[in-house]
Amino acid sequence: MGRVVKYCTAVLHGAGTARAWLAEVGANPYAFAAKRLRVYTGLENWSEFGAGWVNRTADLLEEVAANVAQNSATDPPRRGA
């Protein structure tokens, strides 16, 4: 889960940046996407490209959510749950 967020970040920002952000925020894809959005809002060209960056990140989060839902539906029930 969330590999697509990290992969997309590596493509857009470089593998080194993706690794640094992973070390900073951990493997949670939602925290990773939040980091991306915070970085984007601080860029000089935010006013020109920000809407596209937010849409791309939203698409990635929808993909993560769909994977979570799919995995939840196919996971066997846990004991005591």
pLDDT of 79 > 70? The answer is no
Residue 1 pLDDT level (bands cut at 50, 70, 90): very low
What are the C-alpha distances in Å from 8 to residues 44, 47, 53, 76? Answer: 21, 21, 12, 30
Q: What is the number of other CB atoms lying within 10 angstroms of the CB of residue 23?
A: 8
Nearest CA to 52 among 76, 36, 31? Answer: 36
Q: What is the pLDDT of residues 67-76, one digit of tens each?
A: 877 776 665 6
Q: What is the pLDDT of residue 2?
A: 67
Single-letter amino acid code for the residue at 8: C
Q: What is the number of other CB atoms lying within 10 angstroms of the CB of residue 3?
A: 11
Q: What is the pLDDT of residues 8-54, one digit of tens each?
A: 889 999 999 999 999 999 989 899 999 999 999 999 999 999 999 99
What stretch of H or E contains 64? helix 46-74
